Amino acid sequence: MAEQVIRSNKNKIKGSKTDCVTNMIIYSVAGLAGLGTLLPFLYVLAGSFATEQELTEKAFFIIPTVISTNAYKYIFETGEIFNGLKNSIFLTVVGTAVNMFFTTTFAYPLAKSHLRGRKFFLNMVIITMLFNGGMIPTFLWIKEIGLYNSYAGLILMVAISPFNMIIVKNFFQELPAELEEAARIDGCNDLQIFTKIVLPLSKPVIASISLFYAVGHWNNYFGPMIYLKDTHKETVQIVLRRIVLLAAGVQADGMDFDIMGTPPDKAVKMAATVVATVPILIVYPFVQKYFTKGVMVGAVKG
């Protein structure tokens, strides 16, 4: 007994020395990763508040010598961005909710290895991951079923991402079988097991997959571009892309329309990045808390 205690103590002491070095390495690598990703963004942030001149002359800086809000003024001037933000938020929130509904309900039955026809359904999903008909046929079909130029269409079109669905399915599969057995003994049917037991325990995967879907919707440029016709339905990505292109003088095709004045080109690109990025960045810290350990403690016992 005593030897065991001494032995384990020895390990602890040995551990603490190498532990310290390991910790240092771990913390510094993490720190480097953090810095390496933060600094460029700080440059973009600083650049969005800088003058055209400074951006042309300097290769990199974190604090602009002359602060100018021209880029932001240019972006917000026409007010379209607010409409775009509103639409994007709607698309992201509703879209993600729809996604999670379709994805979890489809993933759960497939997680049951005893399901009849399981392989068939899984194959169905995998095939869609790899094969698709292309832009024109999809577009024509969407138009045919009357979902063109509607958010309903845009959201339903991507109701399930096979990749995300498989991740959720595998997560469900790894939940201990005893849980289901215990619940069944208590008289629950499949639906109740799903809603009362499985879902609450799946917080980490739901949090992360919701995040994936949300980011997907927020960044989705191509979908709204092709499938939405009315300008008042535009999402923030479309508005921003157009602003950036316009600022870069892409339109300059020989006609001198100095109506708009000379827009601050580089700063606008950076400001647009900031405006498009910040809202969704804010979401992450809130979701982080679901990635904490200990979610499973007491699950079986409880």
Binding residues among 279-298 for other proteins as defined by CB under 8 A: 280-281, 284-285, 288, 290-297
Name which of 63 and 262 has its Cβ closer to other proteins: 262
Nearest to 125 by CA among 170, 161, 81: 161
Binder among 59, 63, 66, 177 for other proteins (CB under 8 A): 59
Name which of 35 and 93 has its Cβ closer to other proteins: 35
Using only C-alpha atoms, what is the Rg of the chain?
26
CB 90, min distance to other proteins, A: 19
Binder among 157, 181, 196, 200 for other proteins (CB under 8 A): 157
> Taking CB under 8 A as the criterion, which residues in 17-56 touch other proteins?
18-19, 22-23, 26-27, 29-31, 33-38, 40-41, 43-44, 53, 56
Query: Are 223 and 135 in contact, with CB atoms under 8 Å apart?
Result: no
Name which of 90 and 162 has its Cβ closer to other proteins: 162
Task: Look at the block and give the residue holding tokens 């097991």.
Answer: 193
Name which of 16 and 93 has its Cβ closer to other proteins: 16
CB 93, min distance to other proteins, A: 18
CB 279, min distance to other proteins, A: 10
- x-or-dash pattern for other proteins, window 171-210, by CB under 8 A? x-xx--------------xxx--x---------xx-xx--
> Taking CB under 8 A as the criterion, which residues in 206-235 touch other proteins?
207-208, 211-212, 215, 219, 222, 225-226, 229, 231, 234
37 CB burial (10 A radius; 0-12, 13-18, 19+): exposed
> Taking CB under 8 A as the criterion, which residues in 81-140 touch other proteins?
101-103, 105-106, 108-110, 112, 115-116, 118-119, 121-122, 124-140
> Taking CB under 8 A as the criterion, which residues in 250-269 touch other proteins?
250-262, 266, 269
Binder among 60, 181, 196, 200 for other proteins (CB under 8 A): 60
Number of residues counted as binding other proteins (CB under 8 A): 146
Name which of 86 and 119 has its Cβ closer to other proteins: 119
Query: Are 268 and 52 in contact, with CB atoms under 8 Å apart?
Result: no
Name which of 26 and 67 has its Cβ closer to other proteins: 26
Token pair recorded at residue 216: 């997907």
Name which of 3 and 63 has its Cβ closer to other proteins: 3
Name which of 90 and 125 has its Cβ closer to other proteins: 125
Q: Does 65 bind other proteins (CB under 8 A)?
A: no
- Three-state SS string over the chain comes to CHHHHHHHHHHHHHHHHHHHHHHHHHHHHHHHHHHHHHHHHHHHHHHHCCCHHHHHHCCCCCCCCCCCCHHHHHHHHCCHHHHHHHHHHHHHHHHHHHHHHHHHHHHHHHHCCCCCCHHHHHHHHHHHHHCCCCHHHHHHHHHHCCCCCCHHHHHHHCCCCHHHHHHHHHHHHHCCHHHHHHHHHCCCCHHHHHHHHHHHHCHHHHHHHHHHHHHHHHHCCHHHHHHCCCHHHCCHHHHHHHHHHHHCCCCCCCCCCCCCCCCCHHHHHHHHHHHHHHHHHHHHHHHHHHHCCCCCCCCCCC
